[in-house]
Homo-oligomer: A and B are copies of this chain.
Amino acid sequence: MQSLRVKLGQRSYAIHMGSGILGDPSLLAPAIGKGPVAIVTDTNVGPLYLKALQNTLKSLHKDALVITLPAGEESKTLDHVQSITGELLKAGYGRDCTLFALGGGVVGDITGFAAAVYQRGVACIQIPTTLLAMVDSSVGGKTGVNHPLGKNMIGAFYQPRCVIADTDTLDSLPEREFRSGLAEVIKYGLINDLSFFSWLEDHLDSVLARDSEALEKIIKTSCKDKAEVVARDELEGGLRAILNFGHTFGHAIEAASGYGHYLHGEAVAIGMVMAADLSRRLDLLRESEQNRIYKLIKAAGLPTLAPRLEISTYLDFMKVDKKAEAGQIRFILLNSIGSALITGDVPPAAITQTLQAFMERSA
């Protein structure tokens, strides 16, 4: 097992990574308060890992209330925040309770947000069970739900007490979801870590074979890269926005094609290919680097073609992106592999050219 500390002053917390650590009460004990505990999970993950977590908690003399959500992005709503908090109220849970998020990104996001707002804030422990959640949504304190008019538009920055990433839980992850998680892993190489990107090019086969050493390497490096960025900019004032590389196009793809059609990582993969195209058009990125990016994303089994939609539809969805300021879309672009920049100063013609090029290819 390895541990990593995310340094955020009073809100610092540990990320523990390793095989079988879900069964280790010594990791949970220091993070749980005196009060009662509740586990939020979903209909996919519950049957697989709920029992193990319950047993670990029982050895700490905690009998957990279990709240099971329907699996899928459709559960990430304010209505479900109301139902989760309703279960806690019915059980008489006070401010000293601890919520466990056992599942993928959806469970992590909504449970973290429910913890942030229940009685104005209770403790939360994240137990991500997908690659995407391990390398992305359980690190950095972003929590929230979707609004019918936009993804993740309602939320809070709220740090967990700790994160338990048990790599054994990845054994059951469907191939498509595993590859979707790889999109965010590749992203860390692109924005911040050239040597990690090269390592991924060289070791993609072992990663795709879910070799345990390779898995530990990508989770640890991704969490470390993300934790560094988050520690320097907790509330997304500036630098942290580079974590959204590929997300401006990606969110538009997800929203415009209806949530659930693409997995988040798939939309981000396409978005990264589009952002690389835009970076090259603006003479920031060399064509050889753009080709390397395309090749790795393609080799990871991720989609690289954008869905065919009106260009105005893309632009409308990109304007409601949280990074937009005064109606101006902000982009994360690449100077080179391993070096990102944030800019609101992109000529509209270049954006349109990128969109047009992808619409032609997707025909």
Contacts and interface: CB of A to CB of B under 8 A. Distances in A.
Taking each of A85, A117, A120, A325, which has the highest tally of chain B beta carbons within 10 Å of its own beta carbon? A120
A120 B155 contact: yes
B326 A120 contact: no
Contacts of A320: 89, 92, 94
Contacts of A86: 147-149
Contacts of A89: 147, 149-150, 153, 320
Query: How many copies of this chain does the complex contain?
Result: 2
A245 interface: no
A78 B82 CA distance: 8
Given A78-B82, A154-B81, A322 B90 contact: no
B319 A35 contact: no
A187 to B, nearest CB: 20
Contacts of A226: none
Contacts of A92: 319-320, 324, 327
A326 B147 contact: no
A28 interface: no
Contact of A120 (B96, B142, B148): B142
Contacts of A94: 320-327
B117 A326 contact: no
Given A78-B81, A89-B147, A117-B117, A96 B156 contact: no
A199 to B, nearest CB: 33
A61 interface: no
A144 interface: yes
Most chain B beta-carbon neighbours within 10 Å: one of A35, A82, A90, A92: A82
A116 interface: yes
A96 B326 contact: yes
A12 interface: no
A119 interface: yes
29 contacts: A34-B325, A78-B78, A78-B79, A78-B81, A78-B82, A81-B154, A82-B147, A82-B148, A85-B147, A85-B153, A86-B148, A89-B147, A89-B150, A90-B149, A92-B327, A94-B322, A94-B323, A94-B324, A95-B322, A95-B323, A95-B324, A95-B325, A116-B156, A118-B154, A119-B153, A120-B156, A120-B157, A120-B322, A121-B157
Given A89-B320, A119-B322, A120-B322, 20 more contacts: A35-B326, A78-B81, A82-B154, A85-B147, A85-B153, A85-B154, A86-B147, A86-B149, A89-B153, A92-B324, A94-B320, A94-B321, A95-B324, A95-B325, A118-B153, A118-B154, A120-B142, A120-B157, A121-B235, A156-B156
